[in-house]
Structure 1
Amino acid sequence: MITRRSLLGGLAAGAAASGIALAGRANGAPAPATAPRGPARSAAGMSLHLVNNSGAYANSSVWIYIVGTDGTQQVHVTPDGELKPVATADNGPDGFTDYAIPLAGSGTTTLQLPRMSGRIYTALGGKLKFKAVEDGNGKAALAYPAGWVAGDPNYDVLHDCAEFTYNAGGMYCNTTMVDMFSVPLAIKLTGAKDQTTGTLKDGARAKVFADVRAADGFDRLVIGDRRVIAPGHGLDSGLFAPDYLAPAIDEAWSAYAAKDLSVTTNAGTFTGRVRDGKLVFTVPQGIRRGAAAPTGTVSFDKPSTRDVLFCDGTLAAPNDGTLGPIAAVLGAALNRSTLTAHAAQPTTDPATFYRERLTNHYAKAMHAATRDGRAYGFAFDDVAGFASYIEDPAPKEITLTLTPF
């Protein structure tokens, strides 16, 4: 299964090389270099239908951007469904590209979606500014919108995105709130079966704003009626307390100094205890250990609030079959505030999630807002299958709908 953590791996790697904002990364300056522009690709792919049911903006005030990677270079899709490499020469006199795809005058807009991995951005009331730059490897890349950064050129534009990977194995896609929430989006994927995800309950956008604003310590994450930014980004911007989860993390570390914690992953069940400040798990015989567990154990330093919210730092999840899956389960449990009370992880009953005072109230609000209870409120929200993610090995068409505000 391709999760959000691997969905945009190639794209994230390119962004990291150039300091580009992507999926929680901070803005930065790209290294100067040059890159040749490759030829455009054919329009072969599957049908992408774009439906504007927002009720707040006419089709003429909505633009779509399909950007990402084809595995070798960063690309964008034209209104004709053509896959073209990003090029710095595409920057106009204002210093930004215009990769916007307008919606049809009325009704549904349909185009061909080529095989690629990336994002479908929606911009309402104004166009987005994507700047083509050169990364550290001399390849053209895009600086993505960072709506959580007050100085970003797209800060005043109402926008949001869905993520996808479309390749020979099928379609893997999700709606995401990992960075922020602004525009209600829903995905319908038709293929081996019909699936939908991301659909909000009636009036849920306003309720998300209200619920986050009402949560103690979260109020400054609500940026007018424009967006709600994720608490990790709020922490980096000085809008959220950097030690918010510290008491909850301390409580969990204290609890498992006196008793065992078991974590079950696809590889097996790992038993851990806190020793000398580290949460140390024994890797059972027969489980592939890899470089992360050469001595038969994997361990975690006590995470910070930022580590938990970004699912990074001490909770970074390498694709190693041992430390990575355990990190994901720990990160999910800390965001959902279930770690201390449940010594067998992961917990799978959503009724036990977000019940503590110190919890990820942003993710809680997002899950309460969706009809199926699934959302991508943090990067490890796919643990136990609670992410707004769907996949199909034989996709025929996909529909992205702007649902009512």
Structure 2
Amino acid sequence: MLSRLKVLASAGAATALVGALLGFGLPTTADAAVPDTIPLEVKNDSGRGEQLYIYDIGTSLATGQQGWADADGTFHPWPEGGNPPTPAPDASIPGPAAGQSATIRIPKFSGRIYFSYGRKLDFRLTTGGLVQPAVQNPSDPNHDILFNWSEYTLNDAGLWLNSTQVDMFSAPYSVGVRRADGGTVTTGRLKPGGYHAVFDALRAQSGWGGLIQTRSDGTVLRALAPGHGMENGDLPGNVMDDYVDRVWQKYSGTTLTVTPFGDQPDIRYYGRASGDVMNFTDASGAVVTSFQKPDADSVFGCHKLLDAPNDTVRGPISRTLCAAFNRSTLLVNSEQPDASAANFYQDAVTNHYARVIHDRMADSKAYAFAFDDVGNQESLVHDGDPQQAYLTLDPLD
């Protein structure tokens, strides 16, 4: 199971995707059917007239080096950085004009495909590697640029390509892959009018409109994910407290059953709250892990008090809890994960950012929080023998 392309949730961790994928048992070698590079068609349906810039940035799976790929798919390692950070080499690839398409080649990589409108992104290098844009910081040099990114891993086992809103919701796009049989799978497209509808819904939700960032010329740039919004004080830190308190009260007298592996229904863990701790036991009654009562930051980021290590017990339980807290399904179903999307986001206290994004997606799929792939709600395409990848920049309507 691809349980978590997220490890990228922090803007500085773009190269962690391969660790997430490989750590969950995906094969790293197959029959060598996947070539060293595959074509990526970038289609500019945005309707915007500014110059478009494309970047392919990540970690080479052949060497483990961080770097960037040019339009031909050739890998270039980053030079040594500094302290303070030094400017990175210009890794931009001129993108197609509005209404046009261009094809580049992407190598066996784990990282991100960035795109920006009107201005090149400002990447810096420290002694520890690349500094990713972090627009939750008002002084970030990329703060006033309209941009977004997709995450991908291409290796001998195939291609995993997603659209992501884990850090922010911004310039819309969809992703796709063409299979060997000629069929194409796509995801990530908004409903007509969905882009502005997301911002309108956040403004209408009391307390959540502060996530939206607007440029001085009036251009709406993005909505920050709630965890980043809390860092800036744009979302109250106690926004999930009422729901968490009700969950803890319920499971002080009721057992929460977690079945974390869809293909292993006999593996179950049982949670009961006592004080500020929820203990999980296995079938023998032995305590296998415990969680402190989480705050909103832990819920939205699926970290800290809901940390999910890459193991076989705590991590899978935590991923299930994280999804259930964000979707607010714990009070309506004591068997988790909840398989019924009709139950998601129904409580007044929920991750409204994730709610409005999923509601505006054409196929209801999104990566609106770290473990949105629990229950296969994620916007991801995968194929073991990819013939071509697609990145389509959609209208900002």
- Matches of 1:3 and 1:55, distance apart in 2: 35
1:120-155 CA-to-partner distances (Å, cap 9, x unmatched) read 0010111100112221xxxxx211111222111100
1:68 pairs with 2:58: yes
1:360 pairs with 2:331: no
Q: For residue 234 of structure 2, what is the aligned residue in structure 1?
A: 239
1:129 pairs with 2:122: yes
Decide whether aligned partners of structure 1 residues 274 and 129 sit closer, same or farther in structure 2, where only a CA change above 3 A counts: same
After TM superposition, the structure 1 = structure 2 runs for residues 4-403 of structure 1, keeping only pairs within 5 Å, are 4-5=4-5, 21-22=12-13, 44-58=36-50, 61-71=51-61, 72-88=64-80, 95-104=87-96, 107-135=100-128, 141-192=129-180, 193-224=183-214, 225-266=220-261, 267=264, 268-284=267-283, 296-403=287-394
| TM-score normalised by structure 2 residue count | 0.86
Does structure 1 conserve the Cα–Cα contact (< 8 Å) formed by 2:323 and 2:372? Answer: yes
How far 1:97 moved relative to its partner?
2.9
Decide whether aligned partners of structure 1 residues 7 and 272 sit closer, same or farther in structure 2, where only a CA change above 3 A counts: closer
How far 1:167 moved relative to its partner?
0.4
SS of match in other structure, 1:307: helix
Q: Which amino acid aligns with 2:371?
A: F
Q: Which amino acid aligns with 1:70?
A: S
Q: Which amino acid aligns with 2:242?
A: P
Q: For residue 38 of structure 1, what is the aligned residue in structure 2?
A: none
- Matches of 1:3 and 1:63, distance apart in 2: 31
Q: Which amino acid aligns with 2:137?
A: V
How far 1:296 moved relative to its partner?
4.3
- Matches of 2:360 and 2:49, distance apart in 1: 21
- Matches of 1:104 and 1:389, distance apart in 2: 24
SS of match in other structure, 1:366: helix
Decide whether aligned partners of structure 1 residues 372 and 181 sit closer, same or farther in structure 2, where only a CA change above 3 A counts: same
Q: Which amino acid aligns with 2:332?
A: A
SS of match in other structure, 1:254: helix
SS of match in other structure, 1:174: strand
Q: For residue 29 of structure 2, what is the aligned residue in structure 1?
A: none
Does structure 2 conserve the Cα–Cα contact (< 8 Å) formed by 1:7 and 1:164? Answer: no
SS of match in other structure, 2:259: strand
- Matches of 1:104 and 1:234, distance apart in 2: 33
SS of match in other structure, 2:362: coil
Deviates more, 1:104-113 or 1:146-155: 104-113
How far 1:184 moved relative to its partner?
0.5
Decide whether aligned partners of structure 1 residues 164 and 215 sit closer, same or farther in structure 2, where only a CA change above 3 A counts: same
Decide whether aligned partners of structure 1 residues 95 and 251 sit closer, same or farther in structure 2, where only a CA change above 3 A counts: same
- Matches of 1:7 and 1:46, distance apart in 2: 25
Does structure 1 conserve the Cα–Cα contact (< 8 Å) formed by 2:65 and 2:77? Answer: yes
1:254-305 CA-to-partner distances (Å, cap 9, x unmatched) read 10001111111115121111124211111235xxxxxxx9x54211110111
- Matches of 1:163 and 1:403, distance apart in 2: 17
How far 1:325 moved relative to its partner?
0.8
Divergent runs of 4+, >6 A: none
Query: Identity rate of aligned residues, in percent?
Result: 37
SS of match in other structure, 1:226: strand
SS of match in other structure, 2:41: strand
Does structure 1 conserve the Cα–Cα contact (< 8 Å) formed by 2:324 and 2:338? Answer: yes
1:345-368 CA-to-partner distances (Å, cap 9, x unmatched) read 111211111111111110011101
Deviates more, 1:296-305 or 1:95-104: 95-104
- Matches of 2:130 and 2:118, distance apart in 1: 22
| TM-score normalised by structure 1 residue count | 0.84
- Matches of 2:4 and 2:110, distance apart in 1: 11
Q: Which amino acid aligns with 1:396?
A: Q
For the aligned residue pairs, the C-alpha RMSD in angstroms reads 2.4
Deviates more, 1:190-199 or 1:114-123: 190-199
Does structure 1 conserve the Cα–Cα contact (< 8 Å) formed by 2:3 and 2:371? Answer: no
- Matches of 1:83 and 1:130, distance apart in 2: 17
Q: Which amino acid aligns with 1:46?
A: I
SS of match in other structure, 1:235: helix
How far 1:213 moved relative to its partner?
1.4
SS of match in other structure, 1:265: coil
- Matches of 1:84 and 1:233, distance apart in 2: 31
- Matches of 1:340 and 1:297, distance apart in 2: 23
Does structure 2 conserve the Cα–Cα contact (< 8 Å) formed by 1:148 and 1:180? Answer: no
Q: For residue 2 of structure 2, what is the aligned residue in structure 1?
A: 2
